């Protein structure tokens, strides 16, 4: 189970809106370094609604998770299918018509077809509910500091030793 810490940002009847801390999933982000992808990302992508069957309160931190197998299937749909389609399209274009232009057009057609298949695969995964995070537990101070039971740091949690007045890493 892939886990991360999320903050409750709104309670809407039977639903609770969570905002995941993207830095929590990446130790380089939590340390303030890394690739910079977090700075280019849109915050709306990290918000999700789940069933409020745990009596959530706005502002509290919870631990949510997604099954590893579902993440693997989603990665397969998002990356491998379009890449394989691009390569197969390039090979088919080259074999059918010969030349670089035919291979490039075949690759483009294969990529577009692969993106369509990936979109359909993602819709099937999403309809099955496997990509919706599930509530695992409330995040206590030890979880927010990155301490798991047994004193180890658990993956997908914020790793910092000091917190500011809002309970967040500085």
What are the tens digits of pLDDT across the range 71-120?
888 888 899 999 999 999 999 999 999 899 999 999 999 999 999 999 99
Q: Indicate whether 160 belongs to any domain.
A: no
Does one domain contain both 17 and 39? Answer: yes
Does one domain contain both 60 and 140? Answer: yes
pTM recorded for the entire structure: 0.61
Domains: count for the chain: 2
- Residue 43, pLDDT > 60, answer no
Q: Indicate whether 154 belongs to any domain.
A: no
- Residue 163, pLDDT > 70, answer no
pLDDT tier at 32, thresholds 50, 70, 90: low
In percent, the amount of the chain with pLDDT more than 90 equals: 25
Question: Could you give the dihedral angle defined by the CA atoms of residues 96, 112, 70 and 12, in that order, rounded to the nearest 10 degrees?
Answer: -170
The Cα 143–Cα 161 span in angstroms is 11
Does one domain contain both 60 and 74? Answer: no
CB 62 within 8 A of CB 8: yes
Domain encompassing residue 55:
2-67+132-144
Q: Indicate whether 150 belongs to any domain.
A: no
Does one domain contain both 78 and 61? Answer: no
Residue 16: CATH number of its domain: 2.40.50
Does one domain contain both 13 and 50? Answer: yes
Does one domain contain both 59 and 75? Answer: no
- Residue 51, pLDDT > 80, answer yes
- Residue 54, pLDDT > 50, answer yes
pLDDT at 143: 61
In angstroms, the first-to-last Cα distance of the chain is 28
């Amino acid at each position: 189970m892939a886990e991360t810490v999320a903050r409750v940002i709104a309670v809407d009847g039977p639903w609770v809106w969570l905002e995941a801390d993207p830095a929590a999933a990446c130790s380089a982000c939590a340390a303030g370094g890394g690739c910079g992808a977090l700075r280019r990302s849109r915050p709306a992508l990290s918000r999700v609604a789940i069933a409020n069957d745990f009596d959530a309160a706005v502002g509290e931190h919870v631990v949510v998770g997604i099954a590893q197998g579902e993440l693997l299937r989603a990665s397969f749909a998002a990356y491998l299918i379009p890449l394989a389609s691009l390569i197969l399209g390039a090979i088919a274009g080259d074999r059918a018509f010969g030349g670089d232009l035919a291979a490039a057009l075949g690759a483009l057609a294969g990529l577009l077809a692969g993106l369509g298949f990936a979109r359909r695969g993602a819709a099937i995964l999403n309809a099955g509910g496997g990509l919706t995070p599930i509530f695992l537990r409330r995040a206590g101070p030890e979880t927010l500091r990155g301490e798991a039971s047994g004193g180890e740091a658990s993956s997908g949690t914020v790793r910092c030793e000091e917190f500011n007045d809002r309970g967040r890493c500085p």
